Structure 1
Amino acid sequence: MPDTRPAHLRIAADLRAQIMAGTLTPGQKLPSTSQLIARYSAANATIQAAVGVLKDEGFLRSEHGIGVFVRDRHVFSIDPAAYYDPATRGVTYKMLDVREVEPPADVAAALGEKRAALRHRRTDRSGEAVELSWSYYPMTLAAGTPLTGRAKIPGGAPRVLADLGYPELSFSDRVTSRMPTTEEVEGLDVPPNVPVLRQFRTVYSHDRRPVEVSVIVKPAHLYELNYERDIPSE
C-alpha cells in the first residue's frame, strides 16, 4: 500500500526513526538543508516543514547561525507493573474533576456497576504535563468516602479501599493507540499528528472484585512500553 502522507510527514517519519534507533545521536548536527534536499529529492519548504514537525515533538533543536541538532530527549518508560514513584521522580498531580457519574460503557462493563465516583487528574513531570487520567470507583464502595471529595487523600485511593476491606491485589492493563481528542491535545500539549497511548487499567481486590478502573492517556512520542519477563524452560 503506497504511503500517501504529505512529503514532509514522510521525511519527518524517516528522520524520527533514525533518531529513535540511535543512528542520529543526541547532540549530533542534522545534515544541512541542501543535503536533506538532495537525499529526499524534496523542496526546501518541504524539508523545513519536516524539521518543524520534529522540533514541535522535541526531537530537534536549533542553534541560531550554527544549525539544527538532535535533542537529548528522555523518553519515559511505561512499566505496566507500576505507576511512577512521586517521591523520587519529580511527579506531581493536579485534580481536575471529582463527581459521581455514569461511566463510559467499557468502564461500566469492567466495574460491573452503572454509577461510579470519578477522579480526573493531570500528571506533571518537572513541570510538563505528561498524562491525563480518569479513575472510576464503584459507588457501592465509594459513597461517603474521601473518594468522592476533592481533597488530597493521604495514601491515595489504595488506602481508602484497603480501609474498606478491599485492598488492591492485582490489575490488568490494555494499551491501545489512537489520535487524541481536543481535550487531550490541549491538556497535554500534544503536537499535530502525534497519537496518544490509552491505557485501560482494571484493579481487582479479593475474589477478583473490580474496585477501580482507570483510563490513562499519554502522548505517544514521550513514552515507550517496557515489558520484561523470564522465558520458561521447556
Structure 2
Amino acid sequence: MPKAEPDAPDRRSLHERIAADLRDEIMGGELPPGASLPSTAQLKARFDASNATVQKALHLLKEEGLAVGRAGAAVTVREHRRRTVRPAASMATGGPGQTYRWLTEAAGRGAQARSTILDVTECVPPADVRAAFGLSRGRTVLRRRQLLLVDDEPAELVTCYYPVEIARGTSLMDRRRIRGGTAALLAALGHPPRRSVDRVSARIPTQEQYQALRLTSSTPVLRTLRIVHSDGERPVEATVMVKAGHLYEVEYEFVPD
C-alpha cells in the first residue's frame, strides 16, 4: 500500500468537503442545535464554491438529518440530533419490573424511545464474537436482534449473543423485551455482570446497517463490541451496537488511581 503524503489532496468532491467541515462544526458544538448555518453567500466565499455546489452540500446535511430548511429560508441545525452516549451510565442493572436504562435516559432528554425486536434465533456468530466466547468455528449461540428508535427514528441496531447453555430454557429465547434488561436477568440466573470491555471502531455501514438505520450517505457508523464477563471472568454476553457516526459521540469517564 502506498504511503500517504502529508499534503496529499482531498479527492472528495467539493460539496462533500464543504459538508464534512460543516458536519464537524455541528458535532463539535460550534453550530449547536437551532443555530443557523452560514448563509449561501458566506459559504460561497469561504469555500470558493458555486451556488449549486453549496446547495448540494446543504442538501447532503439535510438528508443526513443534521440540518433543516427550505429554499429561500435559513438552514438551521436540527434539534436533538447530536447525542452523547455514556456506556458507564447505561450499564447499570435495572431491578425487577424496571424499564431499560436507555429508555429512562432518553425520556430525561425529552425524547420518546422504544425498541423493536427483529429476531431471536440460534446462529453461528461473527468471528470476533466467537473469539470472545472461545468457540470453535461452526458452534452456535443465541442471537437477539433489536432496533432502538428515538422519536420514531432508528437510532441503534443492537445484536446480543449468549452462550446456548445459558440461554436455553430462559426468557432470553422469547421474542419479547426483557423487563429490566438482560443484565438483571443474567444476574437472576446466577451470572451477574462483573466486568465489561468495549471495543469501539468506525466503519462504513454494511447493507443491513444502512437499511435498518435509514442512512442516506456512506458516512461511517460507530460499532461497539461489548463483552460482559461474570464470575471467574466467564464471558456471558457479547453485544454489537451500531449507530450513525455523524449523530453520536461516545463519552467515557475515568477516575485516576
Amino acid at match of 1:165: G
For 2:235 and 2:37, how far apart are their aligned partners in 1? 50
> 2: distance between equivalents of 1:216 and 1:29?
32
For the residues of structure 2 that align with 1:144 and 1:70, how far apart are their CA atoms?
Answer: 48
Moved over 6 A (4+): none
Instruction: Tell me the distance in 1 between the aligned counterparts of 2:46 and 2:187.
Output: 60
Q: In the alignment, which residue of structure 2 is the partner of 1:162?
A: 187
Decide whether aligned partners of structure 1 residues 208 and 117 sit closer, same or farther in structure 2, where only a CA change above 3 A counts: same
- In 2, distance between residues paired with 1:24 and 1:133? 30
Q: Does 1:69 align with 2:76?
A: yes
Task: Indicate if the aligned counterparts of 2:27 and 2:247 stay in contact, CA closer than 8 A.
Answer: no
Rate the CA distance shift 1:194–1:144 in 2: closer, same or farther, 3 A.
same
Which residue matches 1:7? 14
Is the CA contact 1:172–1:201 (under 8 Å) kept in the aligned structure 2? yes
Q: 1:144 matched to which residue of 2? A: 169
AA in 2 matched with 1:35: Q
- Matched residue SS, 2:79: coil
Within the candidate set 189, 202, 206, 2:227 is matched to: 202
* Residues paired across the two proteins, number: 232
Q: Describe the shift of the 1:25–1:95 C-alpha distance in structure 2 as closer, same or farther (beyond 3 A).
A: closer
Contact between 1:58 and 1:73, CA under 8 Å: does it hold in 2?
no
Q: How does 1:188-199 map to 2 (within 5 A)?
A: 188-199=213-224
Aligned ranges 1:1-234 → 2 under 5 Å:
1-83=8-90, 84-89=101-106, 90-113=112-135, 114-232=139-257
Q: CA deviation at 1:25?
A: 4.3
- What TM-score do the two structures reach when normalised by structure 1? 0.90
How far apart, in 2, do the equivalents of 1:159 and 1:23 lie? 40
Which string of whole-angstrom CA distances, capped at 9 and with x for unpartnered residues, describes residues 131-169 of structure 1? 001100001211222212213333332333223321122
- Is the 2:154–2:213 contact (alpha carbons within 8 Å) kept by the matching residues of 1? yes
State the distance in 2 between where 1:107 and 1:226 align.
24
Q: Distance in 1 between matches of 2:235 and 2:164?
A: 12
Task: Please give the secondary structure, in 2, of the residue aligned with 1:95.
Answer: strand
Q: Give the distance between the partners of 1:97 and 1:8, measured in 2 at CA.
A: 39
Deviates more, 1:61-70 or 1:184-193: 61-70
Contact 1:166 1:211 in 2 (8 A): yes
**Following TM superposition, by how much is the alpha carbon of 1:24 offset from its aligned partner in structure 2, in angstroms?**
3.5
Question: Matched residues in 1 for 2:152 and 2:204: separation?
Answer: 24
The answer to whether the 8 Å contact 2:23/2:246 transfers is: no
AA at the equivalent of 1:203 = V
2:215 partner SS: coil
Give unpaired runs (5+ residues) of structure 1: none
Is the Cα contact below 8 Å between 2:146 and 2:157 reproduced in 1?
A: yes
Q: CA RMSD in A?
A: 1.9
- Give TM-score scaled by structure 2 length: 0.83
Percent identity over paired residues = 44
Q: In structure 2, list runs of 5 or more residues that go unmatched.
A: 1-7, 91-100, 107-111
**Of Structure 1 and Structure 2, which has the larger fraction of its residues in strand?**
1
